[in-house]
Structure 1
Amino acid sequence: MKTYIKLLSCAVILFCGSCKKYLDLVPAGSKIVESAQDYYNLVSYPNRAYVITNFQYLVDDQWMKESDVIGKTNLNTVNFTFDETQNRVNLISSSNFYSRSYVYINRWNTIISLVDDSHGDENIKVLAKAEAKALRAFDYFLLINVYAKAYNPATAATDGGICLMEKYDLEAQPVKSTVKDAYDLIQKDLDEAIPFLQQTPKDVYHPSLAFAWALKAKVHLFKKEFAQAKDAALKSLTYNDQIFDLVAYSRQGGPTSVLVPAANNPEVLSYQYMTGYNEMSFGYNYVISPELKTLFGTNDARYNLFFNSVNASFLDIGAGTAYWSVAYTRFFYSTVGLKTTEVYLMLAETYAREGNRADAIAIINKLRAKRIVSGTVDYAVPATVKETMDIVISERRKELLFGFNRFFDLKRLNTEPDYAKTIVRVFPIVNTTVPKQTYTLKPDSRLYVIPFPKDVLLINRGLTLNTDETLPF
């Protein structure tokens, strides 16, 4: 079978709207994909990006410069001030995160549906399809956790989800699923993919066994299937259990002396980005909150090596904030991809939840030995599961910076009274001409569910919101 697939500059796919826009298949300026090897090569998609601006400030770890907030009303300021009076549909005319995620799903579905009819090695066909399913699972996992409620076993079968497509079909009329439907497809894709994946793929943009098992652990964790999450995390670590030693790196002089580009960071399991491979060269876009800065303390290499708190061009001096100040060419930091340290933290959480406090803290201390440069490294075993979980959650905040991890964690933990958090933000801190106000984000706030973008809602009038906001048309 010969298929013309436009690989570059894909048009925005309004996935839940016109089915005729589902695939961008055009001869002009395109590549002919006709062999099994062609489809396998199509899996590798460098520079996949997931822009987080629709929800970047709905967390306790991110901050904004005061001049970017005071006197302004836009989606960032609405999220930063936790303003539930605004109808966010009016502020999200389109969404790069939404459209690009479905561009990628389009690609995976093309491979899954068409590779069997291509000519070439049958083993390559099987591998290409398995890798595409693993990456489709990743994209659907992101979408369901942005646009729907956190998974709740009691309500997942009725909670509104996202549009799902399992194959390439120009005539399909996708409809909105439930949260359970989405998770079922994600798990099905991973279970079908894993037996055929490789420990060491052709390049870093092909999913590995370590990546797939790590994603499987994350899916089970979010579903509160802790025994399965533990087993999957342990399996992932059999393929890659490396932790980059930031303590030794500090002694070597850090990023000013020793360059660690992407390929040299052994703990990275997948290469995706918030905006692109060079995103951390613009780290002033990622200002951490006074709360997170305080959480790091003074002896944590994750802060000491990479953050700046004294540049008035990029932050408010005196606010107690800091920004990432190391270029991607000097140290590659994985923001939205999976990495081994997240697998360790998931394992620690599963141990804590089963009451195995000693093993949970042993995992945390193993990570801290590669992160804490002086002072107390090892935590004592806490007396309760709650105290142990609090330590795990704190370490997740410090290790899994930026991206969507904290946003997702708040959503899933807010379903549990023991770990739910009301975020309180006092703002401004430095400006003395504007009265300080206290802004509060409650655990059950509708803000945690991002509305579908307006351009998609306009085309697909049958697509309903998963929040209680109203359509402006």
Structure 2
Amino acid sequence: MRFRSYLTLALLSIFTLPACNKYLDVVPKGKTVISTTDDFYKMVSLPNRGYYTGNFTYLSDDLWIKESYVIGLPKSMDIINFTFDETANRPDYLTASNYYNQAYSYINRWNMVISLIDDTDGSSSIKTLAKAEAKVLRAFDYFMLINVYSKSYDPATAANDGGVIIMDKYDLEAKKAKSTVAEVYKFIQQDLDEALPYLQEKPLDVYHPSLAFAYALKSKVHLFKREYAQAKAAAQRSLTYNGQIFDLVKYTSQGGPNSLAVTAADNPEVLNYAYMTGYNELNFAYTYLMSPELKGLFNTTDARYNLFFTTGPSPYLDAGAGTAFWNVPYTKFFYSTVGMKTTEVYLMLAECFAREGNYADAMRIINDLRAKRITNAAQAQLAVPTTTKATMDIIIQERRKELMFGVNRFFDLKRFNLEPDYAKTLVHTFPIVNKTVPQVTYTLKPNSRMYIVPFAQDVLKLNPLLTLNTDETVPFR
């Protein structure tokens, strides 16, 4: 793709230095000039990284939509996704993608650090550290891209499955063809492996990636590739640096968010500060309604639901639909969605144990987590199953409850759909409340092309080499 030649201060700022004059010859008035090693290192710290999931929000069994946002309205991406409309040619409706453009703008930022910092004046150790941290964040962004715009990693087909464009250096004008899924994963793993020896356990601030986060991401990459032994080792290593779980049972006894605010910086579980919407994560969560199915997974003593969600009365949801929405301002409690956290690492480790047939250790992790989530201690402890399938079913259910919203359920559906034991046909019966239109049952099969989100028109126009990963058509080609 061709990166935009202008970068706003709010996102990336326009930077210049002697070594990169061939890219940016003029420093616009009022923009920041980057000229030293320390300046570049500070660039790695980027608060408020957002990954807006609007192009695929409703391709999930965890989210629901208000009926008036569908009934009587023309097709939109939300309606197409929620009704699993496979007849729609989605590129006709995707003029742009905030998610895609933001991820690549961040990648451009990390490439600036990696490509240009060696030509600046400053400490060689800081240069090495800055490049390592930038590679971790670049790996994260490519993981976010490949799992939206491509098929989930399948060892049998990844070498041929269409992926995304790999931009491995700072070049605002480059137009490249996309790589395969296997090539993108190889690039992600290379970035992580090259970075890990130089990272810090406690970096300069929370926006610089730590060893705990890097190993957590490494575990996730291996898990999605079904490399369970490597995923297990990386998860265990991550937890040696940060294995804290925020105790919601204790928090309930303290009065919850109305009595004790827990902002982003106060939540020890958070490994990576990335958001759907920004600092105000879930503050507008009535647009992310919990589905009746997900709501039904929480028992009556689950603090993950009781502390934070409401069924109304509220104009934001349909009374009687069985949905719920987040009802706590971000100033009172920060809940990580897109970014990684320690509880995800525990769940990945539990999955690795289950995959190797160690059900006792898998359930020990699950029960330790539930002990800090379920206020009734007797209900928190689950028996150890006798099969991989039964253990995995519990883990998958806990993942849904612990890793709500964001990207995780969408990513999980895609990867589990490649395994017959865990593949799932999604079902939406809609509307539930409105009786003026016929109720319809919509289904989404595990092998649906809808799980691969098409590239939007803006980037397809900029780069003729970029082609879709689905059999849909581009409106202007």
TM over 0.5: same fold?
Answer: yes
Residue 383 of structure 2 is aligned to residue 380 of structure 1: yes
Alignment partner, residue 27 of structure 2: 27
The answer for unaligned runs of 5 or more in structure 2 is 15-21
Please name the residue that 2:37 is paired with. 36
What is the match of residue 399 of structure 2? 396
Letter in 1 for 2:56: F
Q: TM-score of the superposition, structure 1-length normalised?
A: 0.95
Q: Structure 1, residues 41-81: CA drift from partner, whole Å, max 9, x if none?
A: 01001111000000000000000011111122110010000
Kindly provide the amino acid, as one letter, of the partner of residue 382 in structure 1. P
The one-letter code of the counterpart of 2:44 is V
Give the equivalent residue in structure 2 for 1:453: 456
Shift of 1:201: 0.6
Q: TM-score, normalised by structure 2?
A: 0.95
* Unaligned ranges ≥5, structure 1: 14-21
Structure 2 residue corresponding to 1:226, chosen from 225, 228, 233: 228
Partner of 1:240: 242
- Structure 1 residues 249-295: Cα deviation after superposition (integer angstroms, max 9, x where no partner): 00111001000011110010011110111132212111000000000
Whether the 8 Å CA contact 2:175–2:465 is kept in 1: the answer is: no
Displacement after TM superposition at 1:23 (Å): 7.1
Distance 1:360 1:314, change over 3 A: same
Which of 406, 410, 414 is matched with 1:411 structurally? 414
1:281 to 280, 283, 307: 283
Cα deviation for residue 311 of structure 1 reads: 2.5
String of CA shifts for 1:384-427, please: whole Å, max 9, x gaps. Answer: 11000000000000000110000000000000000000011111
**Which residue number corresponds to residue 108 of structure 1?**
110
Q: Distance in 2 between matches of 1:372 and 1:165?
A: 45
Q: Count residues with an aligned counterpart.
A: 463
Deviations 1:107-127 (A, max 9, x none): 000000011111111100000
For residue 142 of structure 1, what is the aligned residue in structure 2?
Answer: 144
Cα distance in 1 for residues equivalent to 2:24 and 2:391: 49
Q: Structure 2: how far apart are the matches of 1:419 and 1:162?
A: 26
Instruction: Quote how far apart the aligned CAs of 1:462 are.
Output: 2.1
Instruction: Kindly report the root-mean-square deviation, in angstroms, between the aligned alpha carbons of the 2 structures.
Output: 1.8
2:164 is paired with a residue of what secondary structure? Answer: strand
Show the counterpart of 2:205. 203
Match of 1:51 in 2: 52
1:79 corresponds in structure 2 to 81
Q: Distance in 1 between matches of 2:256 and 2:88?
A: 44
Picking from 233, 256, 259, the partner of 2:258 is 256
Partner of 1:267: 269
Amino acid at match of 2:311: S
Deviation at 1:312, TM superposition (A): 2.9
Q: Secondary structure at the match of 1:313?
A: coil
- Partners of 2:287 and 2:343 in 1: how far apart? 24
Asked if 1:463 corresponds to 2:466, the answer is: yes
Q: What CA distance in whole angstroms lies between the structure 2 residues aligned with 1:250 and 1:432?
A: 39
Cα deviation, residue 459, structure 1: 2.1
In the alignment, the residues of structure 2 paired with residue 431 and residue 262 of structure 1 have an alpha-carbon distance, to the nearest angstrom, of 39
For 1:45 and 1:7, locate their aligned partners in 2 and report how far apart those are by CA, in whole Å. 13
The sequence identity of aligned pairs, in percent, is 64
Q: What SS does structure 2 have at the residue aligned with 1:438?
A: strand
Tell whether the 8 Å contact from 2:58 to 2:82 is kept in structure 1 after alignment: yes
| Aligned equivalents of 2:347, 2:146: Cα separation in 1 | 22
Match for residue 17 of structure 2? none
Deviation at 1:7, TM superposition (A): 6.0
For 2:171 and 2:454, locate their aligned partners in 1 and report how far apart those are by CA, in whole Å.
26
